[in-house]
Structure 1
Amino acid sequence: MAQQRAIRLSLKKPTHAVCVVGTDTSVDVYGSVPPGAMTFKVAGSSTVETYLEYDPKNVSELPADEHWPLDAEVDVIISMRAVSQNVDDAKVQVTYYGRNGSQALGQALLYLTGIEVSLDVDMDRTGTIKKNKADKKTWNWGPEGHGAVLLVNCDKDSSVSEGIDYSNSHLYSMADLQDMSKMLLSTNGPDEVFEKHRLVLHMSVNDADKVAVFHAQGGSHISDFKRVLGPDKLSYTVHRAVGEKEITFYVEGLTFPDADFLGLISFDLTLMDTDEMLLETPIFTDSVVFRVAPWIMTPNTQTPLEVYVCSIDEKETSQAKFVDAVTNLALRANCQLTICPPVDNRNDRWIQDEMEFGYIEAPHKSFPVVFDSPRNRGLKDFPFKRLLGPDFGYVTREPAYGGASSLDSFGNLDVSPPVTVRGKEYPLGRILIGSSFPKSGGRRMAKVVRNFLYAQKVQAPVELYSDWLSVGHVDEFLSFVPAPGQKGFRLLLASPNACFKLFQEKKDEGYGTAIQFEGLKNEKKKITIDEMLNDKSLRSDNQYAQKCIDWNREVLKRELGLSERDIIDIPQLYKLSDSSAEAYFPDMVNMIVLGKILGIPKPFGPIINGRCCLEERVQDLLSPLGLKCIFIDDYLSYHVLMGEIHCGTNVRRKPFSFKWWNIIP
């Protein structure tokens, strides 16, 4: 309900006032009282609701004749029930009486004109605007919550525009309006009232750089939509045409929630009264609040829509074969394929590290948004120049100083499927960020990137320990795959212990002389199972790696609500180089997940009975889940460069069906 204002009465002449229907107005019955008056009585027209507030200590019982004592501190409140057809067509009369109450000593008249003024948004989150009696000044989470949603207008709907749509002070395309949220100003009542009063739409200076508003001025051409609020303007006088009952505004977000911005934006609509001296006083204010939609990541369990991979210099045949393998994989998974050519990647093949796909959503609109990492290598222009477009948004965060570390690449950024942890639901999963060991020095993801991820709220991040790895990315030791059952997924963790256990089994079966890297051409590191089991340095390196993975295992179990049966150990070995770990053979958890089809780095394990024993073990672990394992040779194209298939591919996935505003953070 809008704030209450007071109307002063006069015994000398009638008072005239405008009241917004449904709002309470206080009438000052004490400012002009005739001498000798002891009581007063209030009477009003049928369209005026009148009630009196009093303290029972001062008024022990209601007066039978409705004569209220002036010394009882009784407050008179009025409210218009309906819009006036004409100016002054409603009336309130206050009559004052002396001691005996029989003779009136004076009378004050108040003429009222009832009007409608309402600022409304999609409070119910249905995609349409309805007039709502809920508290429009608040925004509540959850399925029973209320409050409107605002998209950051971060796509580019017109080829004429040079930048992201929110950077423009005017429209370049009518399609741009679909990325904005409507805000309606409803007015009704005698036109003379609105000619003598001013309607002002305004916002806080704190919101000035976070939102902009366009006024739809009656036409259907681009020029009929004017930006009236934004970084350069905090208030706007709304010009209402004669008889105009509904005025439409379009609101666009200019920035995502972040460390210094909670995501809430408010607008006020004030009705200003102008007197003969041109002094203005506010007589009514209506307010609405929006929450800017967060950027949302999608986990491996979401349906894949489009696969991205880089083609490099044609002379590099290993990369060409890799691209062919990924092409076939995308075809089998019925996914669209985008091959980033050399002119766009500038010999940078690490497309997972450059960007992360997500989306934003409001009740009326949703579109993908690519988050561009601050690594800024050969692919640095690809997300902005090639992905930004109609209904495809872009966002980035750059460190203010110091540049980016390896942990700022987005192979170090993942998200779990939906989980429930100790009774708390995370229906959009939880973001996973690789970091340094707690309370120690080391590499961490840039604060500006971490702040952005935390500020989105709906996928509460979990920080893991990845700095033990040379590259330092979480995708080097974990992945998620879809699986039947209540949770709908399994967590895959790289496991040196599982690998040594497998090799020991094969030794005990009499295959100790089987060779790792057997199928590789020009590979000088061929080594038998016996030699790997007896290599003390390799054992020591992997004891360390296993301890680091086990530490993360416990964090993941605790923060994702997992049990051991939700985790599958994938055989993997590491080697230490300058005290940091690298994959000894192609890292099989660093895979691409396309529904039930998995593209897994070919490990070139010992061949036993015509089959790679590492591939066979992984198939035995994953095939019962209905997953198809396809092993792809990425040895020369990625592995020797300290990466694998996940690092060299990227996937845009279908958004969640769950609506983020129904979360209770």
Structure 2
Amino acid sequence: MGHRRTLGVDYDKPTSIVCVVGSELNVNLDRSAPPGSKFFSVKCTANVQYNISPPPAETSHLSPILLTGNSVLLISISHASQSEENEKLSVCYYGKNKEVLGTAILYLTAIEISLDVDADRDGIVEKNNPDKESWKWGPNGHGAILLVNCDSEKFYNKKPDCEEARISKVTDLKDMSLMVLRTRGPAQLPKGYKLTMHISQGDAEGVRVFRAESPDVVKNSLRKIFSAFVKDFPLVLSSEVLSKEVPYLGGSAEMNFYVEGLRFPDKDFDGLITISLSLLEPIREGIPETPIFTDKVVFRVSPWIMTPNTLQPVEVFVCSTSDNYQFLKGMRNLVTKSGSKLKICHEYMNRGDRWMQDELEFGYIDSPHHSFPVVLDSPRDGTLDDFPYDELLGPDFGYVTRVAHRKDVSSLDSFGNLEVSPPVTVNGKKYPLGRILIGVAFPTAMEGRNMTKVVQDFLWAQKVQEPVALFSDWLLVGHIDEFMSFVPAPDRKGFRLLLASPDVGYKIFRRLHNDGHGQAKMFDGLNDEKPVTVDEILSDENLRAENNYVQSCIDWNRDVLKRELGLDDDDIIDLPVLFKMKWLNRVVAYYPDMVNMIVLGKNLGIPKPFGPKVNGRCVLEAEMCSLMEALGLNCTFIDDFATYHKLLGEVHCGSNVRRKPFDFKWWNLEL
């Protein structure tokens, strides 16, 4: 029996009680007996079952049974009643000479109550799943799933639906999880009994519950649900209403409730929500009712999930500015080639802020019944700040942000400093959704910059893409996309990690010198940029020392990435990129940083490096093509020199990509 209830009976007068099918009533017979009682006997109607504990010695069922101090009557009913008090059980008490001292009579009304959710995660709300009261990860796990209702059904005067006071449109119900109250019993409950739904104060900030007002809405199709009116779905539970009576419909009935997530997992919220339903029994007027049966269900809020470069692109976002026409032309050609859509943020919206990657990160949330993209808005708050909310938030496109104190926000809070790996396996542990990567200060740094704590706490709390901290504070801008990227590959782990490598850059330049091309020039033909020969680069001892330092920083990260992503050296490709020291002993790319690319399937948009030419071809481009084409990838070089590189960014910094979600379902993760 799932629910047990201790019951007192009265031998002086009949007692009327309500019993829930599937639960058990425990009656201590000695405690309820008249003084001097030594024996008892039990009679009941056919639908009532009982057992006696401890079991009596074998005797005729008509013979009185010896009453002991721990004699307990265990009562259950197998079917719901069709009318009130239609079941009966009586206990007759006897004295030592087996004379009758009194009789306790129970009139029972049995009802079925089941609060149900999609506990087995198949998109169907099954009846009374035994695992509905808990959560378990994994393919054999259980527990219902809840989406944060962070999209907006409105196009004007919009805000996330979870911030609306009520359901604004009935179509909003698809973003919520269905919960069904199933009951069976008489036409009405006995006088004074009632059903209440309730949540704890701790869970109240994370959930709201609405119900379908009309039974017709409950029983009919989604099409009919969506043709109903908003008023047909009143609010039941919220942070202001922790407990509320819900109707008992009588007969065999179902009532639909729609559960709405309000917040993502975070440092102070593990993502678990419990909703309970209780049957309350009256005592007498002026005395509070007592719960005699409680059913509960558990939801876990879907985490926010990032998408790596290896997933298929859907939309590419870039800014249009007064000076980046040539860049946009190159991006249009690349996006057309990849079969994606290009979305341009015009100047009236970006107000001169071209760093689309830094302002936001695309992800998604998922459940068995629905999923949609969700943009994470960074705390950097440049003039592009309104774009994620004003232009992206909408029907089936969610929005989330984390607000930090302005004094805590640094360049490392821009989302060029937030990436995610493809799926990996590390020492036998699988990360089928990859691992989040962030850049921070070196562990020994006393005054280093770090990603703000509220963002880091948020990322860690999602659980499914366990973050890895890299060292990026050595860079002037401080973003990990300045020295690393991922591209798809047909072999090994399905991808390659690309790392910037000054050593590889110097190796190429030394080879050029040895082959007699020492006078070949970097930046040749660029306006407002002085050409520099290969020999001049090789003879610059300060530049070489600076790049030795850079290589040591990248190698430190290389070791972390190998360890935390389970990579071998064959999974890593080093790209020829040099850096130079700027302000505050931090570095920037010496020429356009080819690792800072956009990946659209097999098509790569790479910053044009303007390297030295041999036989009319840029040596750096040729090296890049050789490395990438071996993986079946196509290289497109985009001129971002004046409009991005000179402003300390590149192609990846100036673009962003929304991608298809993983096929893998996060709730199947083994944690």
Q: Please classify the TM superposition score into its range, dividing by the shorter chain length.
A: over 0.9
Q: Read off the aligned partner of 2:398 and give its amino acid letter.
A: G
Q: Secondary structure at the match of 2:31?
A: coil
How much has 1:410 moved relative to structure 2?
0.3
* Separation in structure 1 between the aligned mates of residue 377 and residue 140 of structure 2, nearest angstrom: 35
Matched, 1:294 2:303: yes
Q: Read off the aligned partner of 2:332 and give its amino acid letter.
A: T
* Separation in structure 1 between the aligned mates of residue 338 and residue 66 of structure 2, nearest angstrom: 83
Which residue number corresponds to residue 576 of structure 2? 571
Q: Using structure 1 for the length normalisation, give the TM-score.
A: 0.95
Which residue number corresponds to residue 399 of structure 2? 394
Aligned in 2, Cα 1:323/1:92: closer, same or farther, shift over 3 Å?
Answer: same
Which residue number corresponds to residue 142 of structure 2? 146
The answer (yes or no) to whether the contact 2:186–2:250 under 8 Å persists in 1 is no
Pick aligned residue for 2:165 from 169, 189, 213: 169
Which residue number corresponds to residue 189 of structure 1? 185
After alignment, is 182-191 or 546-555 more displaced?
182-191
Matched, 1:91 2:97: no
The answer (yes or no) to whether the contact 1:9–1:108 under 8 Å persists in 2 is yes
Q: Secondary structure at the match of 1:192?
A: coil
After alignment, is 410-419 or 508-517 more displaced?
508-517
- 1:400-415 alignment runs, 5 A limit: 400-415=405-420
Aligned in 2, Cα 1:650/1:327: closer, same or farther, shift over 3 Å?
Answer: same
How much has 1:46 moved relative to structure 2?
3.2
* Separation in structure 1 between the aligned mates of residue 427 and residue 645 of structure 2, nearest angstrom: 39
The answer (yes or no) to whether the contact 1:155–1:165 under 8 Å persists in 2 is yes
Aligned in 2, Cα 1:72/1:32: closer, same or farther, shift over 3 Å?
Answer: closer
Pick aligned residue for 2:428 from 423, 428, 441: 423
What is the CA deviation profile of residues 534-593 of structure 1, one whole-angstrom value per residue up to 9, with x for unaligned ones? 211111001000000000001001111111111111111000113101000100000000
After alignment, is 651-660 or 196-205 more displaced?
196-205
Which residue number corresponds to residue 21 of structure 2? 21
Aligned in 2, Cα 1:475/1:265: closer, same or farther, shift over 3 Å?
Answer: same
Which residue number corresponds to residue 212 of structure 1? 208
Matched, 1:75 2:79: no
Matched, 1:271 2:279: yes
- 1:295-444 alignment runs, 5 A limit: 295-313=304-322, 316=323, 319-441=324-446, 442-444=448-450
Give me the identity figure in percent.
53
The answer (yes or no) to whether the contact 1:589–1:600 under 8 Å persists in 2 is yes
* Separation in structure 2 between the aligned mates of residue 194 and residue 179 of structure 1, nearest angstrom: 37
The answer (yes or no) to whether the contact 1:306–1:651 under 8 Å persists in 2 is yes
Which residue number corresponds to residue 464 of structure 1? 470
What is the CA deviation profile of residues 44-92 of structure 1, one whole-angstrom value per residue up to 9, with x for unaligned ones? 43322323444xxxx8x84444665433523322222111122222232
Q: Secondary structure at the match of 1:645?
A: coil
What is the CA deviation profile of residues 154-211 of structure 1, one whole-angstrom value per residue up to 9, with x for unaligned ones? 1111235532111111122111111111111111101232654111111111122221
Q: Read off the aligned partner of 2:89 and give its amino acid letter.
A: V
After alignment, is 245-254 or 379-388 more displaced?
245-254
Which residue number corresponds to residue 221 of structure 2? none
Which residue number corresponds to residue 535 of structure 2? 530
Q: Secondary structure at the match of 1:344?
A: helix
Pick aligned residue for 2:117 from 121, 138, 141: 121
Unaligned runs of 5+ residues in structure 1 are none
Q: Read off the aligned partner of 1:459 and give its amino acid letter.
A: Q
Aligned in 2, Cα 1:229/1:662: closer, same or farther, shift over 3 Å?
Answer: same
Unaligned runs of 5+ residues in structure 2 are 218-227
The answer (yes or no) to whether the contact 2:80–2:112 under 8 Å persists in 1 is yes
What is the CA deviation profile of residues 250-288 of structure 1, one whole-angstrom value per residue up to 9, with x for unaligned ones? 111111111111111111111111244253121111111
Q: Using structure 2 for the length normalisation, give the TM-score.
A: 0.94
Aligned in 2, Cα 1:560/1:194: closer, same or farther, shift over 3 Å?
Answer: farther
* Separation in structure 2 between the aligned mates of residue 599 and residue 182 of structure 1, nearest angstrom: 44
The answer (yes or no) to whether the contact 2:115–2:128 under 8 Å persists in 1 is no
Q: Secondary structure at the match of 1:330?
A: helix
Paired positions, count: 654
Aligned in 2, Cα 1:240/1:11: closer, same or farther, shift over 3 Å?
Answer: closer
* Separation in structure 2 between the aligned mates of residue 487 and residue 588 of structure 1, nearest angstrom: 23
How much has 1:43 moved relative to structure 2?
4.1
Which residue number corresponds to residue 547 of structure 1? 552
After alignment, is 38-47 or 537-546 more displaced?
38-47
* Separation in structure 2 between the aligned mates of residue 388 and residue 103 of structure 1, nearest angstrom: 79
* Separation in structure 2 between the aligned mates of residue 5 and residue 82 of structure 1, nearest angstrom: 18
* Separation in structure 2 between the aligned mates of residue 626 and residue 421 of structure 1, nearest angstrom: 26
Q: Read off the aligned partner of 1:70 and give its amino acid letter.
A: L
* Separation in structure 2 between the aligned mates of residue 141 and residue 573 of structure 1, nearest angstrom: 45
Aligned in 2, Cα 1:205/1:564: closer, same or farther, shift over 3 Å?
Answer: same
Which residue number corresponds to residue 526 of structure 2? 520
* Separation in structure 1 between the aligned mates of residue 139 and residue 521 of structure 2, nearest angstrom: 58
After alignment, is 3-12 or 614-623 more displaced?
3-12
Q: Read off the aligned partner of 2:209 and give its amino acid letter.
A: V
Which residue number corresponds to residue 30 of structure 2? 30
What is the CA deviation profile of residues 586-615 of structure 1, one whole-angstrom value per residue up to 9, with x for unaligned ones? 000000000010000111111012211111
The answer (yes or no) to whether the contact 2:273–2:300 under 8 Å persists in 1 is yes
Pick aligned residue for 2:517 from 499, 511, 515: 511
The answer (yes or no) to whether the contact 1:2–1:285 under 8 Å persists in 2 is no
The answer (yes or no) to whether the contact 1:169–1:227 under 8 Å persists in 2 is no
The answer (yes or no) to whether the contact 1:257–1:292 under 8 Å persists in 2 is yes
How much has 1:531 moved relative to structure 2?
1.9
Q: Read off the aligned partner of 2:498 and give its amino acid letter.
A: L
* Separation in structure 2 between the aligned mates of residue 458 and residue 549 of structure 1, nearest angstrom: 27
After alignment, is 255-264 or 163-172 more displaced?
163-172
Q: Read off the aligned partner of 2:241 and give its amino acid letter.
A: K
The answer (yes or no) to whether the contact 2:30–2:71 under 8 Å persists in 1 is no
Aligned in 2, Cα 1:606/1:365: closer, same or farther, shift over 3 Å?
Answer: same
The answer (yes or no) to whether the contact 2:3–2:22 under 8 Å persists in 1 is no
* Separation in structure 1 between the aligned mates of residue 4 and residue 662 of structure 2, nearest angstrom: 44
Aligned in 2, Cα 1:5/1:400: closer, same or farther, shift over 3 Å?
Answer: farther
Matched, 1:615 2:632: no
Which residue number corresponds to residue 199 of structure 2? 203
